Amino acid sequence: MSARLEGELLEVSMGPQHPSTHGVFRMNVALDGEIVVKLKPVFGYLHRNHEQIGERTSYLGTMPYTDRLDYFNSMSNNWGYALAVEKLAGVEVPERAQYLRVILAELSRLQNHASLLGFLLSDMGAWGTPLMYAFREREKVLDLFESLAGSRMMCDYMRFGGCRVDADAAWMERAKKIVYDFPRFLDEFEELILENEIVIARTQHVGRVSAELAISAGITGPMLRASGVNYDLRKVDGYGFYPRFKFRIPLGEHGDTYDRLMMRVLEMRESIDILKQAFEAITPGPITNPKVKVRGFRPPAGECYGRIEGPKGELGFYLISDGTGTPYRYHVRAPSFINLTILEDMCLGHTVADVMVILGSIDIVMGEVDR
């Protein structure tokens, strides 16, 4: 039988309860044989009214809810939200708190990228083992978060004008040790995957995103940089104390899944550099701004947009204040949601098995996509 059988398209509903969809996410895929010809993402299964709740609770009360956006990176979410409110209210952040924020955000990036690599390999069929190696490292960082902020994932650590608890010397030592030991894991992980023929075959030239498409779709974060666009808010905005650090922005060339994967590995190495510099630079001092009231915090009327370079991309918080204790409007620009919008463009023409890998390389967390 040499002639190709022309049949109807097969429609498959992938998800929402599928281990590779990273939460509750559904894709309606139309398949021609094994090739994707149409893909429609369906989300909203995890919608929790985050923005509406933010308009009902006090400014402070939204802080713990931001933990639950991208629950892998509560530290960076806290920072993004705190940054927006600090901008709105014109609050200064003391030096030590700024360094602590950098340290925690970069630790958060480390564990996020490490687990992403693990998940991505899981999606490729390397079930379990690489993921467990990644989680072993992640666990160390989460233990650090727990002993500082009291919780592993729902850190709720930052406050307007500073941080909630100070890190003592013992904590710093532990953090230093973990950071200095991290390259060992990275080396090993690179050895495990980067030359692996299966990984290469499954990722190179798969799910390419051109720089033009990435820019016009509003893609941010490692995914944008994998397409070769040099855009990192740590450099562009220079928020926090990032201008004081020396680090490079890794850039990809092809914008395929392999580049996105490598981007995470390289970014982790840069994060380690930032962390090492931060450990050197941090000095004792106050960590909160005494002018900020805990009870009845009311920023002046106005609006502002605060954004940070989260591990997944540009995480922005938009707030309109009418001078009362609750924001008039609160909006979250969730990077994984916006990065997910070009999923169809990335998947067309690839096999259904590649969809999982492409989806994995976007790095989504449904808590943030659906909010």
123 binds other proteins (CB under 8 A): no
Question: Nearer to other proteins by C-beta: 93 or 362?
Answer: 93
Question: Nearer to other proteins by C-beta: 62 or 361?
Answer: 62
CB of 22 to other proteins, least distance (A): 22
How far is the C-alpha of 131 from the C-alpha of 110, rounded, in Å? 14
Looking at 61, 94, 218, 228, which residue binds other proteins (CB under 8 A)?
61
User: What does residue 10 show for φ and ψ, rounded to 5 degrees?
Assistant: -100, 125
| Interface with other proteins: number of residues (CB under 8 A) | 38
First CA to last CA distance, the chain: 51
Give the interface segment with other proteins, choosing from 75-83, 129-137, 313-321, 354-362 (CB under 8 A).
Answer: 129-137
Dmax (CA) of the chain: 80
Under rule CB under 8 A, which residues in 254-313 are in contact with other proteins? 294-295
**Cis, bond preceding 16 (omega within 30 deg of 0):** yes
Hey, CA dihedral for 66, 97, 169, 104, is it positive or negative? positive
Question: Nearer to other proteins by C-beta: 40 or 205?
Answer: 205
Question: Nearer to other proteins by C-beta: 136 or 205?
Answer: 136
84 binds other proteins (CB under 8 A): no
Looking at 28, 147, 326, 351, which residue binds other proteins (CB under 8 A)?
147
Among 57, 239, 73, 245, smallest CA distance to 149 is for: 73
Looking at 13, 129, 210, 324, which residue binds other proteins (CB under 8 A)?
129
Looking at 2, 6, 8, 195, which residue binds other proteins (CB under 8 A)?
195
Question: Nearer to other proteins by C-beta: 8 or 195?
Answer: 195
Question: Nearer to other proteins by C-beta: 200 or 348?
Answer: 200
How far is the C-alpha of 142 from the C-alpha of 137, rounded, in Å? 9
CB of 68 to other proteins, least distance (A): 8
Looking at 28, 57, 289, 326, which residue binds other proteins (CB under 8 A)?
57
Looking at 100, 124, 193, 219, which residue binds other proteins (CB under 8 A)?
193
Please give the residue ranges that form the binding site for other proteins (CB under 8 A). Answer: 53, 57-58, 60-65, 129, 133, 136, 139-140, 143, 146-151, 154, 156, 164-165, 188, 191-200, 294-295
